[in-house]
Amino acid sequence: MTRLRFLAMALVCCFGAALAADDKKPDDKKPEKLDPAKLLGKWKVVSGFKAGEKYEAKSGVVEIVKDKIILDDDMKFVFGYKVDLEKSPVTIDLEILEPEGLKGAKAPGIIKLEGGKVTLAYHPSMGERPKKFESTKENGFFMFVYEKVDPKKDEPKK
């Protein structure tokens, strides 16, 4: 009888653990630790929003180098950037270096690397830093999701 009770308790524990695991939402998953070296290279926009409105990029390709992000779409933009890996989510501070007329404009944001994609959310005009990865008309944030471009094919890696 003792073995039967032990077996019953073991089954209850197993089912309880399985149910607890099922209670976790996908949002509970933490993004992978951001390694700044993994940001380097060319990235293509796979989705974009500006203040909640869907954004259709012309070329949609950005290049990230050690201390700059270069966007050449309708016109060329060069941003200096700094990330703070100690914050959660990781913060990024952008500053326009080019074009000359916008030089010095700053944008506080957040960034994550997850599943081979980079997600960037920021306020385009030195407003409040986003706390979540979302873009709505109310918050005015811009948000973009990028996939790495295969340097041999100039296409996003699958």
Of residues 51 and 155, more confidence is placed in 51
The CA distance from 101 to 98, in Å, is 8
For residue range 48-107, what is the model confidence (pLDDT) as tens digits? 999 999 988 888 899 999 999 999 877 899 999 999 999 999 999 999 999 999 999 999
Q: Are 146 and 118 in contact (CB under 8 A)?
A: yes
Asked if pLDDT for residue 7 goes beyond 80, the answer is: no
Q: Are 121 and 143 in contact (CB under 8 A)?
A: yes
What are 91's two structure tokens?
Answer: 């913060």
Of residues 143 and 126, more confidence is placed in 143
The CA distance from 33 to 21, in Å, is 22
Highest CATH level, class, for 36-156: mainly beta
Q: Are 114 and 32 in contact (CB under 8 A)?
A: yes
Ranges of each domain in the chain: 36-156
What are 155's two structure tokens?
Answer: 């296409």
Quote the percentage of the chain above a pLDDT of 90: 61
